[in-house]
Amino acid sequence: MRSARSSLDLLAAIALALAGLAAVLIPLDVWFRAVLWVPLVLVVPGYTILAALFPERRLQSGEPVVYAVAASVAATVIGGIAVQVVLDLDRTVWAVLLAAITVVTALVGIWRRDPPGDRGGAAAGRTALRLHLPGPVAGLTLIVAVIVAAAAVVISSNGASRERDSYRFTALWVQPAQHAAGPGDAVTVGVDNHQGAIARYRLVVKQGSGVLTRRRLELGDGRRWRLRLAVAPPSATDPVTATLRRNGAIYRHVYLDSGSTP
Amino acid sequence: MIRKVRLGAMPPLAVLAAGGLLLVALGNNAARDGHAGAQVLFWAGLAVIYAPIAFRLIGSGAGRAERIGLVLTLAISLYLVKVLRSPAEFVRFDELGWWRATHEVVLTGHLFEANPLNPATAGFPSLAAVTAALAQLSGLSIFHSGLIVIGVARTVLVLALFLLLVRLTGSNRGAGIGIVVYACNPSFLYFDAQFGYESLALALAAAFLLAALRWSRIDRVMLGWEVGGTAALVVLLACGIAVTHHMTSLAVIGFVALWLLLRKLRVRRGELEEARSMGPLLPLLAIATAFALWFAFVAGGETIHELGGVFSRAFNSIVDLVSGQNGSKRLFSGAGEKQPLAARALAAASVIPILILLVVGLRAAWRERLRDSLRLTLCAVALLYPVSLGLRLTQAGSETSQRASEFVFLGVAFLAALLVAGRDAFARRILPRLVLAAVALVTFVGAFLLGELQATRLPGPYLVGAEDRSVTPQGVAAADFAAAHLPARSRLLTDRTNATLLGSYGGMDPIFGRFADIPLPRILFAPRFEHADERVIHGQSLSFVVIDRRLRREPPLIGYYVESDEPGAFVRRRAVGPAALAKLRLVPGVSKIYANGPIVVYDTSELTR
């Protein structure tokens, strides 16, 4: 009983690692997965490695935090370098690797904290887990600090978003279509509206002097428009050109296989 | 067992620091909107974060837990200042290079993939590996995963340095002040907080030094788990550093080697106190062997490419300066910008307290007959500070000086801690504490002025060749187009900012350098398209050339458009002409496939056949 209590932290680490493995297989909300996996990548493997290396917890206060994170990073990287020689590092491989490091080193830590010759003895007493928590007033004040800092991040994010939206533009592009529908070539023409509002355009696509299509477009902000057209192979004498007009003037002009200007 | 921890004034000071972050956020938004007062809000925010914590740490009233809480509050708050600068995406050159490296790991499942934005990422995959693991397992974006990884590393760095200084000086107060001084290194606020391998490596190095100190003080006659555990921890962390960052590995090797050398000298002189303990031999063997093996079998090429360039540029510019072939650079200003007089004065003034600290600290160390090889090593490191200042006289030397500051300031922080350890008399009086906190604030602000371009301290409207300030939605849109519609890893040529965006979000391979002694950027700058340009496009298999027509507005703020050794770099007085930027539309066989206003993508693949 005493032994189990002295290794409660390592048993919790094993449970967390197994929960993390399960979370990889079950579709879960991203924030739930983040809460689970941030410590499982950056803290827990190092913590259990420390437990295996220093069963008597003689490190000074603060040191376990430093070593746990640093050892987690080192173990994750070295494990990843070794594993990628034989396996691609996808989500499942990372999960199994980190869970394996955690479980194996935690089991070694449990065994070393309570060796067979000293079951329930002095070692268990030395390794009792101590938690340091602030008082209620200090805790509440810290929560206020976190809320104010979060507000600063939200304010700055909104400002950055507003700044991004202040750049108004439209993109026009033309590209050979990768998979033409029938015999001959095809091109794809695209228009992307970033004007911050609904925008109206007139698009003319030509090959040589022949008009392939004329379109009136009305696109909402952030909306995209695509058109696939069959064409003869573009050449210097027979280029494919796309011209976008806005407010009666030429606004954008692109072309395939031509040195000509509009 | 639950124990109550006494945090003293730390919680209200954390609220105050959060208030400082609010001011910084408002200052950033004002700068984005072009409002006056942005600077005032930003600097006031920094002062509100830094000064009260410095004031409290200088005093003698705080206990150990409160001091740890305060240094962590300082570290996290200053990290958030960097996050607030660009809270939605990475915008710095190095960060986008690492975004690309991490994205490659997620896409391919392999480390060591080539990265044209930052070739060193292929040899030192730690940051990409840890961030990719977190992103894949948590479902968070690479951006958010990267922020978490660097935020945690930052916290660990400061905590490890605090514990190291406590062990060296025996004073929690001294260690707290040491952290206040360490935060005054010019790289601390932005450069060391960016999503880059150095930011992660510094945390590992600090943890390694703490473990090495632990090992060095173990009694030689001691046997048992403690010895084996500490040795294993030292070796694990040494391997971690070696695969994370070349410069940090070399700095740690140099530091531990000097420590060992001084210890040997002291033992030879008959001072046997240190001879009874393990000393730094194992840490030195661990880090030197790990790095040598990594260098020999994996990352030698990347290390030589990156560090060779930095050091040779610094060396050449110093030789030029001494021989009079080139003048010195304008101090405390970037290549294409001139700082206001007040900013330059503040930057210069920030150096003075550090120099005074150096003189007074070394004198105190001498008087106290410092008898410990590690402390002597830290004094030697502090002596590098004036040398690093000298490097700032040249353009290329500034980069070396900037990169060295996070290592040099470890020695400076130690001297500060040593100086105040055991000297509590002045700490009980308000006025001396106020004066010291004010001096610390000036040093902190001045160091930031010294280390960061004026244009990139706060966000704001587009500027030409100004790193973060040149990233706009048009560039991102062009990169998104490339990712969706162009063949992955197509070779292209463009300016530095668009190369960063197209090389990261766009998945393209921007090409730099020369071909047959022709500098590649001439394709962008030459007024006419000539045979040499065609040779370069053909020889380099350049499928696309991307032109940012805004380049004609003004010369680049950082001194160059594409790379630092391009023709006209740092001496260009006029912007590239509009004819040069428009010339490709007249070239037969070149297609203009994308246009969004400022940015045009030309398909030059016909010329490569």
Chain-chain contact of B109 with A93 (C-beta, under 8 angstroms): yes
Instruction: With cut-offs at 50, 70 and 90, classify the pLDDT of residue A115.
Output: low
Residue B168 pLDDT exceeds 60: yes
Q: What is the pLDDT of residue B197?
A: 96
pLDDT tens column, B46-94 = 999 999 999 999 998 899 999 999 999 999 999 999 999 999 999 999 9
CB within 8 Å of B430: residues ≥ 6 apart = none
Chain-chain contact of B159 with A62 (C-beta, under 8 angstroms): yes
Q: Which residues of B touch A98 (CB under 8 A)?
A: 133, 137
The 3-state DSSP composition of chain B as helix, strand, coil percent (nearest 5) reads 65, 5, 30
Which of B32, B159, B206 comes nearest A159 by C-beta? Answer: B32
B577 min Cα distance to partner chain A (Å): 19
Which of A74, A130, A167 comes nearest B3 by C-beta? Answer: A130
Chain-chain contact of A84 with B134 (C-beta, under 8 angstroms): no
Question: Lowest mean pLDDT: which of A3-12, A128-137, B316-325?
Answer: B316-325
Provide long-range contacts, Cβ within 8 A and 24+ apart, for A151-155. Answer: A151/B22, A152/B18, A152/B21, A152/B22, A152/B24, A152/B25, A152/B80, A152/B84, A153/B21, A153/B25, A153/B80, A153/B83, A153/B84, A153/B87, A155/B22, A155/B25, A155/B26, A155/B29
Chain-chain contact of B586 with A261 (C-beta, under 8 angstroms): yes
Residue B335 pLDDT exceeds 80: no
**Residue A179, SS3?**
coil
Residue B598 is classified by DSSP as S
Instruction: With cut-offs at 50, 70 and 90, classify the pLDDT of residue A3.
Output: low
The share of chain A scoring above pLDDT 70, in percent, equals: 87
Chain-chain contact of A33 with B485 (C-beta, under 8 angstroms): no
Residue A104 pLDDT exceeds 50: yes
Residue B274 pLDDT exceeds 70: yes
Nearest chain A residue to B129 by CA: give it.
A77
Distance from the first to the final alpha carbon of chain B: 74
Residue A181 pLDDT exceeds 50: no
Residue B185 pLDDT exceeds 80: yes
- Say which residue, A89 or B398, is predicted with more confidence: A89
For B4, B16, B36, B44, B76, the CA distances from B41, given in Å and listed in that order, are 37, 15, 10, 5, 20
B496 min Cα distance to partner chain A (Å): 20
Which of B5, B236, B473 comes nearest A132 by C-beta? Answer: B5
Residue A126 pLDDT exceeds 60: no
Residue B472 pLDDT exceeds 70: yes
Burial B326-363 (b: 16+ CB within 10 A, else e): beebeebbbbbbebeeebbebbeebbebbeebbeebbe
| Spacing of C-alpha B95 from chain mean position | 10
CB within 8 Å of B246: residues ≥ 6 apart = B120, B123, B124, B291, B295, B299, B302, B303, B306, B307
Instruction: With cut-offs at 50, 70 and 90, classify the pLDDT of residue A262.
Output: very low
**Cα(B373)–Cα(B280) distance, rounded to whole angstroms?**
10
Residue A6 pLDDT exceeds 80: no
Residue A81 pLDDT exceeds 80: yes
Q: What is the pLDDT of residue A254?
A: 96
Chain-chain contact of A254 with B592 (C-beta, under 8 angstroms): yes
CB within 8 Å of B576: residues ≥ 6 apart = B524, B525, B551, B552, B561
Chain-chain contact of B153 with A58 (C-beta, under 8 angstroms): no
- For residue B225, what are its two tokens? 């788990």
Query: How many Cβ pairs within 8 Å bridge chains A and B?
Result: 313
Instruction: With cut-offs at 50, 70 and 90, classify the pLDDT of residue A180.
Output: very low
Which of B132, B140, B159 comes nearest A66 by C-beta? Answer: B159
Nearest chain B residue to A82 by CA: give it.
B111
A58 min Cα distance to partner chain B (Å): 9
Q: Which residues of A touch B206 (CB under 8 A)?
A: 66
**Cα(B532)–Cα(B260) distance, rounded to whole angstroms?**
56
Nearest chain A residue to B29 by CA: give it.
A159
pLDDT tens column, A158-175 = 999 999 999 999 999 999
Q: What is the pLDDT of residue B424?
A: 74
Question: Lowest mean pLDDT: which of A223-232, B398-407, B570-579?
Answer: B398-407
Instruction: With cut-offs at 50, 70 and 90, classify the pLDDT of residue A184.
Output: low
Residue A128 pLDDT exceeds 70: no
CB atoms within 10 A of CB B8: 17
Chain-chain contact of A160 with B77 (C-beta, under 8 angstroms): no
Chain-chain contact of A149 with B588 (C-beta, under 8 angstroms): no
Nearest chain A residue to B125 by CA: give it.
A77
What integer is the mean pLDDT of A44-57?
92
What integer is the mean pLDDT of B576-583?
93
What integer is the mean pLDDT of B168-196?
95
Q: What is the pLDDT of residue B604?
A: 94
Nearest chain B residue to A256 by CA: give it.
B591
Q: Which residue in B233, B243, B462, B606 has the most chain A C-beta atoms within 10 A of its own C-beta, making it the best mutation to test that interface? A: B233
Chain-chain contact of A69 with B237 (C-beta, under 8 angstroms): no
B382 min Cα distance to partner chain A (Å): 24
Which of B162, B206, B594 comes nearest A173 by C-beta? Answer: B594
Chain-chain contact of A20 with B137 (C-beta, under 8 angstroms): yes
Q: What is the pLDDT of residue B261?
A: 96
- Please, are residues B313 and B396 in contact by the beta-carbon 8 Å criterion? yes
Instruction: With cut-offs at 50, 70 and 90, classify the pLDDT of residue B326.
Output: low
- For residue B61, what are its two tokens? 């009233």
Chain-chain contact of A77 with B125 (C-beta, under 8 angstroms): yes
Instruction: With cut-offs at 50, 70 and 90, classify the pLDDT of residue A1.
Output: very low
B417 min Cα distance to partner chain A (Å): 19
- Say which residue, B219 or B39, is predicted with more confidence: B39
The share of chain B scoring above pLDDT 90, in percent, equals: 72
**Cα(A254)–Cα(A174) distance, rounded to whole angstroms?**
7
Chain-chain contact of A192 with B137 (C-beta, under 8 angstroms): no
For A144, A151, B10, B76, B507, the CA distances from A148, given in Å and listed in that order, are 6, 5, 15, 14, 38
Question: How much is the mean pLDDT over chain A?
Answer: 88
Chain-chain contact of A156 with B29 (C-beta, under 8 angstroms): yes
- Say which residue, B569 or A190, is predicted with more confidence: A190
Q: Which residues of B touch A148 (CB under 8 A)?
A: 15, 18-19, 21-22
Residue B219 is classified by DSSP as B
Which of A70, A147, A164 comes nearest B473 by C-beta? Answer: A164
Q: What is the pLDDT of residue B50?
A: 98
Chain-chain contact of B237 with A133 (C-beta, under 8 angstroms): no
Which of B86, B134, B594 comes nearest A37 by C-beta? Answer: B134
Nearest chain A residue to B77 by CA: give it.
A149
Is the CA virtual torsion B544, B545, B549, B555 positive or negative? positive
Q: Among residues B245, B266, B237, which one has the least CA distance to residue B196? A: B245
Chain-chain contact of B21 with A175 (C-beta, under 8 angstroms): no
Chain-chain contact of A62 with B163 (C-beta, under 8 angstroms): yes
Instruction: With cut-offs at 50, 70 and 90, classify the pLDDT of residue B302.
Output: confident
The vertex-A57 CA angle with A52 and A62, nearest 5°, equals 110
Nearest chain B residue to A240 by CA: give it.
B591
Q: Which residues of B touch A61 (CB under 8 A)?
A: 64
Beta bridge partners of B518: B515
Question: How much is the mean pLDDT over chain B?
Answer: 91
Q: Which residues of B touch A84 (CB under 8 A)?
A: 109-111
Question: Lowest mean pLDDT: which of B102-116, B234-248, B281-295, B326-340?
Answer: B326-340
What integer is the mean pLDDT of B20-31?
98
Instruction: With cut-offs at 50, 70 and 90, classify the pLDDT of residue B318.
Output: low
Chain-chain contact of A132 with B156 (C-beta, under 8 angstroms): no
Which of B130, B585, B586 comes nearest A41 by C-beta? Answer: B130
Which of A40, A73, A88 comes nearest B240 by C-beta? Answer: A73
Nearest chain B residue to A29 by CA: give it.
B139
Show the beta-strand stretches assigned E in B359-410. none
Chain-chain contact of A153 with B80 (C-beta, under 8 angstroms): yes
Torsion of Cα atoms, B461 then B465 then B471 then B475, to 10°: 120
Instruction: With cut-offs at 50, 70 and 90, classify the pLDDT of residue A203.
Output: very high
Max Cα–Cα distance, chain A, nearest Å: 95
**Cα(B465)–Cα(B12) distance, rounded to whole angstroms?**
42
Residue A94 pLDDT exceeds 50: yes
Chain-chain contact of B156 with A149 (C-beta, under 8 angstroms): no
Identify the top-confidence range among B307-311, B325-329, B592-596.
Answer: B592-596
**Cα(B390)–Cα(B607) distance, rounded to whole angstroms?**
48
- Please, are residues B45 and B22 in contact by the beta-carbon 8 Å criterion? yes
Which of A33, A53, A167 comes nearest B229 by C-beta? Answer: A53
Q: What is the pLDDT of residue A4?
A: 59
- Say which residue, A196 or A233, is predicted with more confidence: A196
Q: What is the pLDDT of residue B451?
A: 87
Chain-chain contact of A173 with B15 (C-beta, under 8 angstroms): no
- Say which residue, B401 or A116, is predicted with more confidence: B401
Q: What is the pLDDT of residue B426?
A: 72
Chain-chain contact of A77 with B130 (C-beta, under 8 angstroms): yes
- Please, are residues B468 and B85 in contact by the beta-carbon 8 Å criterion? yes
Q: Which residues of A touch B3 (CB under 8 A)?
A: 130-133
Global ipTM? 0.92
Q: Among residues B76, B118, B86, B84, which one has the least CA distance to residue B99? A: B118
Chain-chain contact of A62 with B65 (C-beta, under 8 angstroms): no
Residue A259 pLDDT exceeds 50: no
Is the CA virtual torsion A176, A180, A186, A191 positive or negative? negative
Residue B575 is classified by DSSP as P
Q: What is the pLDDT of residue B273?
A: 75
